[in-house]
Amino acid sequence: MDFRAHKPSDSPAIEELFVSVFSRSEGEQEGARIGNLVKEVITSTDSRDLYGFVAVDGKQIVGATFFSRLSFEKDIDVFILAPVAVHSDHQGMGIGQALIIHGLREMQRRGVSFVTTYGDPSFYSKAGFHPISQDVIAAPLELSQPEGWLGQALTDDAIETIPGNCTCVKALDNPAYW
């Protein structure tokens, strides 16, 4: 299994991966919605605000994840990990965790201070994420499941309180994803 940064030529395969995975687990409508989200993340986000990583088995992309910038009044590098998918035939093999850890190491190498995510605490805790209060790092939109707001420091420092409002990239700025 190889892990690498995504390339523009990977975009169709990545979009199809997300459509397939989410259609199978959540239904076709959700698959189409998440596929559209991925397409928008890739096409509408400035390259300085987006990092994508893929897991490749042979020549097939079997996993993908994106990190996009969260912006605050204070100048600090914070990114959100979202979305993540692993091909249905490759789930349960640790590929998702390995891909996330690869991405986190790359984000740390790029000088990112903190990474957040919004999802299943039992899954993301395996990659070092912990529940965080919105008093520490505010989510960009109202959370339907606040227990899923998670974060981790990529420096030796603890997660510090970041005052003020938070905004996300345009593609994620939709209450339906929160």
- The Cα 58–Cα 80 span in angstroms is 28
pLDDT bracket for residue 25 (50, 70, 90): very high
pTM of the model: 0.95
Helical axes 11-26 vs 28-44, angle rounded to 10°: 150
Is the pLDDT at 121 greater than 90? The verdict is yes
pLDDT higher than threshold 90 for residue 174: yes
Task: Give dist(CA 80, CA 69) in Å, integer.
Answer: 6
Q: Is 28 helix (H, G, I), strand (E, B) or coil?
A: helix
CA distance 68 to 75: 15
- 160 pLDDT exceeds 90? no
Note the pLDDT tens digit of each residue in 47-90. 999 999 999 999 999 999 999 999 999 888 999 999 999 999 99
Which residue range is the domain that position 163 belongs to? 2-177
pLDDT at residue 74, rounded to an integer: 87
Percent of the chain with pLDDT over 70: 100
Q: What pLDDT, on a 0 to 100 scale, did the predictor assign at position 62?
A: 98
Q: How many domains in the chain?
A: 1
CA distance 21 to 86: 7
- What CATH number should be reported for the domain holding residue 16? 3.40.630.30
Pairing of strands 130-131, 114-118: unpaired
Give the model's confidence band at 156: pLDDT under 50 very low, under 70 low, under 90 confident, else very high: confident
